[in-house]
Structure 1
Amino acid sequence: MKWIIVLVMFLSLCAYGDDDNHRFPMDLHDLGLTKQQHRVVEEAMKEYQYSNRRYHHQREKDQDALNALFLSPSFDSESFRAKSLEREKASIEIRARLLERLHSVLTPEQKRRYIHHLEEWDSD
């Protein structure tokens, strides 16, 4: 049943995706991956998505802490800076792990193509 729902959602998205310039998140079909590369990339993407979900859950908690700092009678800017930098550092670390794994398996041409995906995803 779950697969039917996924298939229906995919087909409905494809109906709006006739434009060659439109890409869905994490769509890497144009990189021309080998089977071995595909396995590594798929595993790296799954790990990235899992880590990213955990990060966003933690980010909500961190935002509550930042809000509490702001609402306190005196504003502790050092604590605010430290907590904010910690949040950004966690996000950068997740992305760096993904890029490190992909860097080890992609060819130079595939890396150039992948950069275009990063730019598109960042603009979304």
Structure 2
Amino acid sequence: MKWIIVLAMFLSLCAYGDDDHHRFPMDLHDLALTKQQLRIVEEAMKEYQYSNRRFHQRSGKDQEALNALFLSSSFDSEAFRAKSLEREKASIAIRTRLLEKLHSVLSSEQKRRYIHHLEEWDND
């Protein structure tokens, strides 16, 4: 779940420099993106940000439903599990769409570098 917060923060803080020196707060400059790659990555990140924002809006309602399940006189573990899995699947689907788009545009070396970033961000 931390990666969602980190990536959301990245997207909300995304700053644009001049055409030759785009710099991302999450330090993606070491990927050495071409202008075309940068355009595609920015588009993918904007889509991710939009999807993630919608997810968090729905997530608040889902959390209320989970809270209600917990507060009920008897705990329905199956309903709790199902609602929790539904939330996780939605989150995973959003991340998968982003990574699918990035995978199609990054070179093998850029993917290796990006994995390093993902590992760092997941461990924060």
With the length of structure 1 as denominator, give the TM-score of the two structures. 0.77
Q: Distance in 2 between matches of 1:117 and 1:62?
A: 30
- Residue 25 (structure 2) aligns with: 24
Specify every segment of 5 or more residues in structure 2 that has no aligned partner in the other structure, as ranges.
1-12, 15-23
Q: Map of 1:1-124 to 2, 5 A cutoff? A: 24-25=25-26, 27-124=27-124
Q: Distance in 1 between matches of 2:105 and 2:34?
A: 10
* Rg larger in structure: 1
| 1:60, distance to aligned residue in structure 2 (A) | 1.5
- Residue 14 (structure 1) aligns with: none
Specify every segment of 5 or more residues in structure 1 that has no aligned partner in the other structure, as ranges.
1-8, 11-22
Render the CA deviation track for 1:100-120: whole Å, top value 9, x for unaligned.
Answer: 000001000000000011112
Q: Distance in 2 between matches of 1:119 and 1:56?
A: 23
| 1:123, distance to aligned residue in structure 2 (A) | 2.1
Runs of 4 or more above 3 Å deviation: none
Q: Distance in 2 between matches of 1:79 and 1:113?
A: 40
Render the CA deviation track for 1:1-46: whole Å, top value 9, x for unaligned.
Answer: xxxxxxxx99xxxxxxxxxxxx833x31110111111100010011
Q: Distance in 2 between matches of 1:49 and 1:28?
A: 17
Q: What amino acid is the match of 1:114?
A: Y
- Residue 18 (structure 2) aligns with: none
| 1:63, distance to aligned residue in structure 2 (A) | 0.8
Q: Distance in 1 between matches of 2:87 and 2:45?
A: 21
| 1:51, distance to aligned residue in structure 2 (A) | 1.1
Q: What amino acid is the match of 1:30?
A: D
SS of structure 2 residue aligned to 1:24: coil
Q: Distance in 1 between matches of 2:119 and 2:52?
A: 18
